[in-house]
Amino acid sequence: MMPPPVAPRSASRAQKASARGLASLKARTSPGRAKPAPGPRSASPKRSIVKRAEEANAAQLRKRLDELAAAKPPRDRQTLCHELLLAGFVNSYAELFYLTHAGDDGSASRPAPASRPSTLDELEFVKESLSQSEVAHRQGSSDGMYVAYRKVANHYASKDDMTTAICFYEKCLEIASLMGNDAHAGESNHYLGVMFEKLGELAAAIQFHERHLEICRRAEDAEGIQLAGHHLTEMFRRQAEQHQEEGDLNAAVESFSRCLDAAVAAEDPRAEGFANHKLGLAFNELGDPMTSLQYLQNFLQICKDLKDRQAEGEAEAALGRSFHSLGDNHEAIRRFKAFLDIATESDSKDGQERACAELGAIYSEIGDYEKASEYFERTYHLTRSQGRLGELDVARIRLGKARGDLHLVPFLGTVRNDLHRLVQWKCNRTPFVNEEQ
């Protein structure tokens, strides 16, 4: 179906429309025409975030510039490391970077320090000390390098960061060795020994303390000799006790012998007495009571010199056991009675109990059952008074056996020599033990 035909526009209407369009165009392009004011536009979220970030960065930069202008110290480890590098302290930069950044990447190739410099003052102290060491190195001042590294090492030692402290003490030792300075070398060896002591590495600690002792002896440094000897005494004691726990008595004897030498060097009579006591006990346990006697007699004399009555009693007890092992029961009894007297004097019930038990055993062994019963009875009552129920049964058995042995002799005599009395006992339960017995 065809659309209806459109009527043609008249010429007058076309002219009017053309005139209106021309007038509108002139009005829009007229220079005097006022433009309408733009309406408010909503800000883009992305643009707002970027703007805030730029403002924050600008504020941080202004703050940093203000700090630098006021000569304030930097407030982050990265800037501190960069300043060292910019100042030309390359080695100090590397050390400080390690101390402040070790472990950040999770790498185990080099162990991280146990404690990083955390506060601003601490960062400044470490930075200053490291830069001082590098300045001293450039000036050829080994002594200055030593002092600077020692300051850093002492700082980490005070924070119980033994691993980092050891690193810097080793630098000190290396510098002292290159200088040929025995005083610094001895000091470094001492500090290294102490660090390994705290780490529980006895062999390494002993090695450094022995070097310290050797240097002090060469320099005739009496105070240093005593200090090194004191530490060696403690290290050898701990080493010997470890060997005893492991059941290696021969190794324990060797360590106690070295402990004795160190105690003599330290001029420490108590440590010397301790080492003599331990050596005496160890040799007795090894089945060599004759050798043990000389150490125990030394121990006894030291205790008398120190007027230490309790230790003197322990010395008498140990000597009593050695003489008993040698078969000298008379001397063993004398020593144990001395031990009993000292324990009674100090009102030590434990010491009295031990002395009475030893005396009862020796008297029982030599057939003096009356005295054995007497001492075992005292042992029983002393054990009971201390509430040591676990040992009470043992004391009761010893006492019962001693009393049985005491009555066994007259009983056997009656059996052998008085058959009539034995028959009376069997028939009438008449006592068959002689009245005088």
Q: How high is the pLDDT of residue 189? A: 97
Rounded Cα–Cα distance for residues 263 and 270 (Å): 8
Rounded Cα–Cα distance for residues 99 and 146 (Å): 19
The contacts found for 380-389 with CB under 8 angstroms, 24 or more apart, are: 382/349, 382/352, 382/353, 382/356, 383/353, 385/349, 386/349, 386/350, 386/353
Q: Which H or E run contains 103?
A: none
pLDDT grade for 21, boundaries at 50, 70 and 90? low
Using only the alpha carbons of the chain, give its radius of gyration: 48
Q: How high is the pLDDT of residue 391? A: 80
Evaluate if residue 27 carries a pLDDT over 80: no
Q: What number is the average pLDDT over the span 353-366?
A: 92
Sequence-distant (≥ 6) Cβ neighbours of residue 193 within 8 angstroms: 205, 206, 207, 208, 209, 212, 231
Pick 209 or 385 by higher pLDDT: 209
Q: What is the pLDDT of residues 294-348, one digit of tens each?
A: 999 999 999 999 999 999 999 999 999 999 999 999 999 999 999 999 999 999 9
Q: What number is the average pLDDT over the span 353-357?
A: 93
HEC string of 287-351? CCHHHHHHHHHHHHHHHHHHCCHHHHHHHHHHHHHHHHHCCCHHHHHHHHHHHHHHHHHCCCHHH
Residue 398, phi then psi, degrees to nearest 5: -60, -45
Q: What number is the average pLDDT over the span 257-269?
A: 94
Helices (H), 220-248: 222-245
Sorted by where each begins, the domain ranges of the chain are: 348-437
State both tokens at 429.
């339960």
State both tokens at 233.
């005494």
pTM of the predicted structure, to 2 decimals: 0.70
- 97 burial (CB, 10 Å; 0-12 / 13-18 / 19+) is middle
pLDDT grade for 230, boundaries at 50, 70 and 90? very high
pLDDT grade for 15, boundaries at 50, 70 and 90? low
